[in-house]
DNA sequence: GCGCTGGTTGCAAACGATTGCAATTATTCT
DNA sequence: AGAATAATTGCAATCGTTTGCAACCAGCGC
């Protein structure tokens, strides 16, 4: 029961010290639970602190200790400015991150940035002195900038795609492999003329596309046509409709960069009277909850989001501890439902 | 182009002052763009700062100014601990909040808490000294605690339900009215024996339920049966299935507390061979993107999330400026699609 | 030439918690 | 009992930035 009655406003450790009849230093140590201070005075001080609802100022503490116990999480909105944060995948990842970080005693500072608008979005965050480390969710089209920063700043982990020889520590799914799996599934289901739905300027998506291309090339099928689209649902719908109309009859399998896109595509297919999976096979990516609920249920490539979040936090903490860490690329998993 | 070559490590304002040949105070003023310092030296200092990629330490600044430019956003996970953060509604709201706050020059500190586990989750956050104000997303079952805090702490705004005479400033939809609209729609579509799907210990949901009950009572229909369920998709599915089986034939209209729940319900209905809307009418709440994509598309009660986020931030800023503010309750809007 | 006004700059004291070191007291050993 | 050791506590500097106040300079009018 923190106070609110005792008007004595115990705001600082010094106030508390005065009440307890000891020095500020002792209070600090007592609250930190250090064994240096007598168990008796320690519990007494803690009792007084509780009684007055006192909490040490994190700013002051952070300044002195040069450690804030806050991890920055930044979402660069590079290749699709608007609305990407509402992307279910990132949001779910964010939720898990919050859990993991909390469990480790860290707070989470969230920042969305539009890299195009300010070039040094990452340096600004890091240099602010407010965070002990940073997790970047998605490389977007900022690969180079992230690489630059990685050279001089260790406590950073990035969610995204792993590229041979890159210098920043990344956690992510093997997108290329996932792309291969998706294409192979489409082909196994009978499709031969494939399309990729999504924006390949995002490096993760590009890798998925490349993976699919691998499979197609290996089997001697015609190259995959790419249907460029934004991620925001409103714009995407129209774009998909147009793509579908443009390629009517010339494609029979679609690999969507994202379940969200796949779901959108599914509704468009329905409204254009194209039967799935008979006339068109469809595979998504992520295995979001929505994949289970579309009609028909979506065949997709699963990323383990919870494991990803755990990996991100784990690696970041190890880096904070001074360890050198490898990147972590996790295998995707094909989930066959009914669209391919 | 921030440096990384000039190894001179310009970390503090004092370093910068030495280089510029002025005093730290002048540097501080120059970087703050204060007109007191000569325009010439000011631009020179700013140039040097840029050249060395210097950014003032936010912790120190925050400590001195007693202002952190950070707003806390906290999600209490009271009535359904697990996975609620992935709830699409909250996540979307969070995204908009991030946008709004950024635009106003604030950073966002995210914290999920499980109130059951620590009673003073809110005081802890507020007392940490790390945030200038707090936005609470969802009252969950913590109404009383929030009321307590509101008495002694002004810069707080809560997303949730407005109750007559409450003391904390809240932004939200008129849930009761929304509930009425939902029930009326179900009834207009031909349903007479209604059920409410969701957990009524959450106050927002309780209000929606109450609103529906209003309509039903006014029309002399049998009272609404409530189908208690959790929010996390995995558990909810089974629970819904069981409810549906238990009440087979005894209900013909379902008001789901949430679109997410409604979507889940829809798939369960399908798998149990119950036709929508013929054998069962269904109305959701929120109008999330998914509502447009279910089959058939979901009739639902819309909340304007973007406007909500704007309202939250606007009111919070006004309160930070010392203003007294009223709560903001926004009207919901019925969106008729195909499930009722 | 002297005092004044304005415009710039420097000085030094905050902000609140932490921590190495010294000082104090309590304990133990010879 | 005296001295050495250990256990507590206090002192004061420190983290990096901001800001009230004083100091300084140039230029001005008298």
Per-residue pLDDT of chain B (340 residues; tens, 9 = 90+): 444 434 467 999 999 999 999 999 999 999 998 778 899 999 999 999 999 999 999 999 999 999 999 999 999 886 555 555 457 888 889 989 999 999 999 999 999 888 887 888 999 999 999 999 999 998 888 899 999 999 999 999 999 999 999 999 999 999 999 999 999 999 999 999 999 999 898 889 999 999 999 999 999 999 999 999 887 777 888 999 999 999 988 999 999 999 999 999 999 999 999 999 999 999 999 999 889 989 999 999 999 999 999 999 999 999 999 999 999 999 999 999 999 9
Q: How far apart are CA A157 and CA B289, in angstroms?
A: 31
pLDDT tens, residue by residue, A165-217: 999 999 999 999 999 999 999 999 999 999 999 989 888 999 999 999 999 99
Sign of CA dihedral A31, A34, A40, A41: negative
Chain A CB contacts of B92 under 8 Å are: 86, 91
**Separation between Cα atoms, residue A76 and residue A204, nearest integer Å:** 14
The label of the residue with tokens 């070559």 reads: B5
* A241 vs B: CB within 8 A: no
User: Taking phi first (over 0 means left), then psi (-120 to 50 degrees means alpha), and beta for anything else, what does residue B69 get?
Assistant: left
Question: B107-113 and A107-113: which strand pairing?
Answer: antiparallel
Q: How far is the CA of A101 from the C1' of C28 (A)?
A: 47
A309 reaches B (C-beta below 8 A): no
In angstroms, the Cα distances linking A60 to A126, A289, B63 are 19, 43, 6
- Tell me which chain B residues have a C-beta less than 8 angstroms from the C-beta of A83: 95
Q: Answer yes or no: is B58 CB < 7 A from strand C.
A: no
Q: Which nucleotides of D are covered by protein (CB under 7 A)?
A: 7-12, 14-20
Asked if A83 and B95 come within 8 Å (Cβ–Cβ), the reply is: yes
Using CB atoms, which residue from A98, A107, A129 is nearest to B85?
A98
Give which of B107, B103, B98, B154 is closest to B126, Cα–Cα.
Answer: B154
CA distance A225 to chain B (A): 25
Span between the terminal Cα atoms of chain B, in Å: 58
- Nearest by CB to residue A123, choosing from B2, B98, B266, is B2
CB-based contact, B94 to chain A, within 8 Å: yes
* Inter-chain CB proximity B267 and A292 less than 8 Å: yes
The length of chain A, given as a count of residues: 340
Inter-chain residue contact A63 with B63, CB threshold 8 Å: yes
Distance in angstroms: CA A289, C1' D20:
59
- CB proximity A294 to B under 8 Å: yes
Q: Which residue of A has its CA nearest to B151?
A: A4
Specify the DSSP class assigned to residue A298: P
Per-residue DSSP letter, A332: P
Domains parsed from chain A with CATH numbers? 13-56 (1.10.260.40), 70-173+305-331 (3.40.50.2300), 175-302 (3.40.50.2300)
> DSSP state, A52?
T
Cβ–Cβ below 8 Å for A95 and B88: no
CB contact under 8 A, A98 and B112: yes
- What is the pLDDT tens value at each position of chain A, 340 positions in all? 444 434 467 899 999 999 999 999 999 999 998 778 889 999 999 999 999 999 999 999 999 999 999 999 999 886 555 555 457 888 889 989 999 999 999 999 999 888 887 888 999 999 999 999 999 998 888 899 999 999 999 999 999 999 999 999 999 999 999 999 999 999 999 999 999 999 898 889 999 999 999 999 999 999 999 999 887 777 888 999 999 999 988 999 999 999 999 999 999 999 999 999 999 999 999 999 889 989 999 999 999 999 999 999 999 999 999 999 999 999 999 999 999 9
Per-residue flag: A62 CB under 7 A of strand C = no
Q: Is A233 on the interface with B (CB under 8 A)?
A: yes
Which residue of chain A comes nearest to B305, CA vs CA? A86
Query: Distances in Å between the alpha carbon of B273 and those of A296, B196, B225, B226, B244?
Result: 15, 20, 21, 22, 11
Contact between the CB of B33 and strand C at under 7 Å: no
Q: How many CB pairs under 8 A join A and B?
A: 148
Q: Sheet holding B225-227: strands in order across?
A: B225-227, B194-197, B253-256, B281-286, B299-302, B333-335
Strands B70-76 and A194-197: unpaired
């Amino acid at each position: 029961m923190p106070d609110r009655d005792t008007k004595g406003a115990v705001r600082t450790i010094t106030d508390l010290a005065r009440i307890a009849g000891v020095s500020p230093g002792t209070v600090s140590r007592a609250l930190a639970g250090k064994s240096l201070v007598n168990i008796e005075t320690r519990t007494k001080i803690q009792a007084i602190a509780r009684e007055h609802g006192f909490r040490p100022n994190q700013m002051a503490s952070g300044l002195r200790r040069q450690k804030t116990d806050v991890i920055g999480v930044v979402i660069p909105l590079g290749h699709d400015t608007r609305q990407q944060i509402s992307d279910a995948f990132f949001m779910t990842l964010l939720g898990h991150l919050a859990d993991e970080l909390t469990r480790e005693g860290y707070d989470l500072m969230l920042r969305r940035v539009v890299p195009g608008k300010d070039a040094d979005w990452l340096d600004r965050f890091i240099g602010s002195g407010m965070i002990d480390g940073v997790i970047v969710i998605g490389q977007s089209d900022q690969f180079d900038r992230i690489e630059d920063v990685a050279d001089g700043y260790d406590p950073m982990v990035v969610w995204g795609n792993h590229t041979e020889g890159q210098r920043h520590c990344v956690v992510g799914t093997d997108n290329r492999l996932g792309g291969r799996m998706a294409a192979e599934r489409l082909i196994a289901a009978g499709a031969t003329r494939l399309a990729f739905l999504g924006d390949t300027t995002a490096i993760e998506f590009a890798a998925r596309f490349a993976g699919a291309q691998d499979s197609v090339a290996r089997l001697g099928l015609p190259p995959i046509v790419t249907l460029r689209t934004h991620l925001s649902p409103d714009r995407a719908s129209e774009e998909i409709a147009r793509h579908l109309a443009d390629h009517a009859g010339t494609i029979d399998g679609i690999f969507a960069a994202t379940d969200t896109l796949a779901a959108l595509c599914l509704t468009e297919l329905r409204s254009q009277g194209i039967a799935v999976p008979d006339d068109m096979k469809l595979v998504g990516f992520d295995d979001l909850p929505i994949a289970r609920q579309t009609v028909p249920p979506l065949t997709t490539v699963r990323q383990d989001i919870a494991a990803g979040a755990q990996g991100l936090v784990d690696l970041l903490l190890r880096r904070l501890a001074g360890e050198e860490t490898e990147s972590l690329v996790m295998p995707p998993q094909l989930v066959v439902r009914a669209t391919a």
